[in-house]
């Protein structure tokens, strides 16, 4: 895919003085619900009304969307409010129905992005259209798979493309429904800076109290927009109730968020500095998490050694680790002195953990 300025042109066409805001319910439930939410959003910063028409659920038996009937509700909402509309499409038939009802923006969901076959079918169905198409990251943290989906659409001559960061599934327990793994969209943004990047904080958070901070982090990282699930009665929503906010909350959130602007050379410097510092904060957080995981493993090793009356310090193993880390450090442009300091500190902490277990 060519890193061409044409990719950002569709976003510039909106002429917005703030990031693009896409808002609306997780699911279209009734016609009144869709239209009422659209009217509550029309005077906000939200430009695009979102609603799930077809809802791919992990297990059958849950609400799976109202189907094509909901597209007519979105048409009515668009006519009455002037908002653009967007919905998820998961196959070529969905594309045909969405085009028939003049949905303005289509997005490909995380479960669909993982299948090159389905993405190709969707790309073929969209070929020759002028629609904006957004691609959510795949469920698993796989940058190549994410980019592959975008490239398939680009190869079908769909030039109005963008990506949505909605977090990644993990077996580990975290505070998020889907772990953000910020470094992956950061890598994507660095490789393709002209590809609009939109955050979906709702699916990352899984709960409404985390949404603001996620949005602020995204804006600090120069994201181009936000897709936030909103419902006038979120606690009684038919799907994903815990992660939806009210339109009024969204309006206030957009007032409170600090949006970085480039108005002068000095301001541009500050923006770049804030972006870099936010990236460092993200990496530092990941470092602490990884170090914590390492110490958990060290605890298990210590327990195993204590049970088998084996000495804590294994000099041969320690020297092997140091040698490998020094070589890897050189490849990453890190000095031997730095690597030695860091890993000696890690090793000492590991010994301390194992000594506690040995004395227990």
- pLDDT of residue 4 exceeding 50: no
Yes or no: say if 353 and 305 are a contact pair by the CB < 8 Å rule: no
- 248 and 328 in a single domain? The answer is no
- 141 and 274 in a single domain? The answer is no
Position with higher pLDDT, 275 vs 103: 103
- pLDDT of residue 359 exceeding 60: no
Domain CATH code at residue 242: 3.20.20.70
When pLDDT is cut at 50, 70 and 90, the band that residue 145 belongs to is very high
Chain-wide mean pLDDT for the chain? Answer: 90
Confirm whether 340 is domain-assigned.
yes
**Please, where are the H alpha helices in 114-260?**
116-126, 143-155, 183-191, 201-205, 211-220, 247-256
Confirm whether 1 is domain-assigned.
no
What pLDDT score was predicted for residue 5?
A: 42
**Number of Cβ within a 10 Å radius of residue 245:** 21
What pLDDT score was predicted for residue 60?
A: 60
When pLDDT is cut at 50, 70 and 90, the band that residue 193 belongs to is confident
- 18 and 98 in a single domain? The answer is yes
Backbone angles phi, psi at 282, to 5 degrees: -65, -45
**Number of Cβ within a 10 Å radius of residue 127:** 12
Q: Which of 237, 259, 281 is the last residue of a domain?
A: 259
Yes or no: say if 224 and 162 are a contact pair by the CB < 8 Å rule: yes
pTM, two decimal places: 0.77
Name the residue range of residue 352's domain.
266-359
Q: C-alpha 314: how far from its chain's center?
A: 42
Task: Report, as an integer, the average pLDDT of 108-134.
Answer: 96
Task: Report, as an integer, the average pLDDT of 219-225.
Answer: 92
What pLDDT score was predicted for residue 170?
A: 83
Q: pLDDT digit string (tens) for 11-52?
A: 989 988 889 999 999 999 999 999 999 999 998 999 999 999
Extract the tokens encoding 118.
Answer: 């389905």
What pLDDT score was predicted for residue 263?
A: 54
Task: Report, as an integer, the average pLDDT of 334-343.
Answer: 88
Q: Which of 242, 259, 276 is the last residue of a domain?
A: 259
- 321 and 238 in a single domain? The answer is no
Yes or no: say if 228 and 215 are a contact pair by the CB < 8 Å rule: yes
**Number of Cβ within a 10 Å radius of residue 315:** 8
- pLDDT of residue 120 exceeding 50: yes
Q: Which residues pair with 21 in a beta bridge?
A: 226
Closest CA to 46 of 12, 8, 85, 5: 85
- 21 and 100 in a single domain? The answer is yes
Helices 69-81 and 31-41, packing angle to 10 deg: 30
When pLDDT is cut at 50, 70 and 90, the band that residue 57 belongs to is low
Taking the C-alpha atoms of residue 116 and residue 147, their distance in angstroms, rounded to an integer, is 11
Look at the chain and report how many structural domains it folds into: 2
Extract the tokens encoding 355.
Answer: 């000594």
Q: Where does residue 108 fall: left (phi above 0), alpha (psi -120 to 50 degrees), or beta otherwise? A: beta
- 203 and 218 in a single domain? The answer is yes
- pLDDT of residue 259 exceeding 90: no
């Amino acid at each position: 895919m060519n890193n061409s300025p044409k990719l950002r042109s569709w976003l510039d066409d909106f002429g917005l003085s703030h990031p693009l805001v896409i808002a609306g319910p997780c699911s279209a439930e009734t016609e009144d619900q869709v239209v009422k939410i659209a009217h509550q959003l029309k005077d906000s910063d939200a430009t695009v009304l979102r609603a799930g028409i077809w809802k791919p659920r992990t297990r059958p038996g849950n609400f799976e969307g109202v189907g094509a009937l909901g597209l007519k509700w979105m048409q009515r909402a668009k006519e009455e409010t002037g908002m653009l509309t967007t919905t998820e499409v998961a196959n070529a038939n969905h594309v045909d129905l969405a085009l028939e009802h003049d949905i303005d923006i289509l997005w490909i969901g995380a479960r669909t992005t993982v299948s090159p076959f389905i993405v190709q079918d969707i790309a073929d169905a969209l070929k020759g259209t002028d629609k904006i198409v957004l691609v959510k990251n795949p469920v698993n943290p796989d940058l190549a798979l994410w980019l592959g989906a975008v490239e398939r659409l680009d190869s079908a001559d769909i030039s109005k493309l963008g990506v949505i960061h909605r977090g990644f599934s993990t077996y580990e327990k975290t505070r998020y429904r889907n772990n953000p793994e910020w470094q992956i969209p950061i890598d994507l943004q660095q490789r393709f800076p002209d590809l609009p990047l939109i955050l979906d904080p709702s699916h990352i958070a899984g709960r409404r109290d985390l949404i603001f901070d996620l949005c602020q982090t995204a804006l600090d990282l120069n994201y181009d927009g936000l897709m936030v699930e909103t419902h006038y009665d979120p606690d009684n929503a038919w799907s994903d109730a815990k992660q939806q906010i009210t339109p009024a909350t969204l309006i206030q959130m957009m007032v409170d968020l600090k949006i970085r602007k480039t108005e002068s050379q000095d301001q541009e410097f500050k923006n770049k500095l804030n972006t870099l510092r936010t990236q460092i904060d993200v990496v530092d957080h990941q470092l602490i998490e990884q170090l914590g995981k390492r110490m958990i493993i060290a605890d298990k090793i210590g327990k195993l050694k204590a049970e088998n009356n084996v000495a804590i310090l294994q000099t041969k193993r320690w020297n092997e680790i140091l040698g490998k880390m020094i070589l890897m450090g050189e490849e990453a442009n890190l000095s031997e002195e730095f690597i030695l300091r860091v890993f000696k500190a890690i090793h000492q902490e590991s010994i301390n953990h194992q000594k506690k277990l040995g004395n227990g």
